Amino acid sequence: MAKLGENRYGKARVRLSRITRKGDLHEFEEWTVRVLLKGDFETSFTEADNSSILPTDTMKNTVYSLARASKAETMEEFAMELGNHFLANFAHVNEASIEISDKAWERLILDGHAEPTTFKLGGPELYTTRAVRSPGQPWAVTSGFESLTILKTTKSAFTGYIQDRLTTLKPATDRIFGTSASATWDYAAPNLPFNEIRSRIVAALLKTFAEHDSMSVQHTLFDMGKAALDAAPEIARITLTMPNIHHLLANLSSFGQDNPNHIFVPADEPHGYIEATVER
């Protein structure tokens, strides 16, 4: 006999651009929102009874309507505002999870000055947040980023590893270190200056990556995590995922040429995959 297990439903990939006008200075954000609800929806699955279902199209419209009236300055604040709406208006919903990703638009610099109404896309990275709450409980807010693509051309080595009959990798004392990093961190409270904290965390991660004398991706990842915790006492832990995007030294010997760490072949796949949580 079959029975329904854990379930939820919602609306994904709701795309929203927002301009906040502060006189002649404009702020621009491009968000992608996902709404997921848990609750008393069993009969919709088991008895074809839609009486408990809020249409996902209504969820989409709710995102736009609340965004129009919202005074939220950060996507974290808007995620909680949106989740509060569903929890307050639908008693059979027992958990709201709101996820938002934000494209890395940044203000254009012209002649050394920030242009007040013009922006450029900073890179492929997305800034992310996830806010989850049940009735009577506080918000649990996790933020982070995805696909932060960074690379340095020195201060990276890899030696002293296990070698067996299948090992072909040669030890390296000076190699390219490239990664497309992702991170998430948990906030200790739901009412914080989220953008300012994010800026501190990202700055600490990038500074450590650039300055670190890396003996491995693992070595650098841990020290980056420590730096983030030092920079942001408001977070309890940070999880970092750092694929090792390889740049392989090209063999030019067939052409009678040497290659003193000059010409490389980028290789996106396969790549190393390193992940760890650094906590207090």
Residue count of the chain: 280
Hey, what are 184's tokens? 């998430």
DSSP β-ladder status, 25-39 and 93-110: antiparallel
Q: Tell me what pLDDT residue 87 has.
A: 98
The domain ranges of the chain are 9-137, 148-279
C-alpha to C-alpha distance for 127 and 188, rounded to whole angstroms: 19
Q: Tell me what pLDDT residue 83 has.
A: 98
Q: Tell me what pLDDT residue 108 has.
A: 96
Contacts of 35 (CB under 8 A, 6+ apart): 10, 11, 12, 14, 56, 59, 62, 63, 82, 86, 96, 97, 98
C-alpha atoms less than 13 angstroms from C-alpha of 10 in its C-beta half-sphere: 23
Specify whether 60 is catalytic: no
When the candidates are 3.40.50.150, 2.60.40.10, 3.40.50.720, 3.10.270.10, the CATH number that belongs to 9-137 is: 3.10.270.10
Helix (H) or strand (E) holding 10: strand 9-22
β-pair partners for 99: 34, 130
Annotated active-site residue in 32, 43, 56, 241: 56
pLDDT tens per residue, range 238-262 = 999 999 999 999 999 999 999 999 9
Strands (E), 188-258: 235-249
Question: 9-137 and 148-279: same fold?
Answer: yes
Specify whether 71 is catalytic: no
Strands (E), 134-256: 140-152, 177-187, 235-249
Residue 278's SS3 state is strand
Q: Tell me what pLDDT residue 268 has.
A: 84
Hey, what are 136's tokens? 């009577």
Specify whether 271 is catalytic: no
Cis upstream peptide for 135 (omega within 30°): no
Hey, what are 142's tokens? 């996790």
Annotated active-site residue in 11, 60, 85, 103: 11
Helix (H) or strand (E) holding 40: none
Give the Cα-Cα-Cα angle 204, 205, 208 (nearest 5 degrees): 80
- What is the pTM for the complete model shown? 0.92
Q: Which residues of the chain have pLDDT under 50?
A: none
Q: Tell me what pLDDT residue 33 has.
A: 98
pLDDT tens per residue, range 187-233 = 999 899 999 999 999 999 999 999 999 999 999 999 999 999 999 99
* Cα torsion angle, 267, 268, 273, 279, sign: positive
C-alpha to C-alpha distance for 20 and 194, rounded to whole angstroms: 17
Annotated active-site residue in 60, 85, 212, 246: 246
Query: Is the domain defined by 148-279 classed in CATH 1.10.3720.10?
Result: no
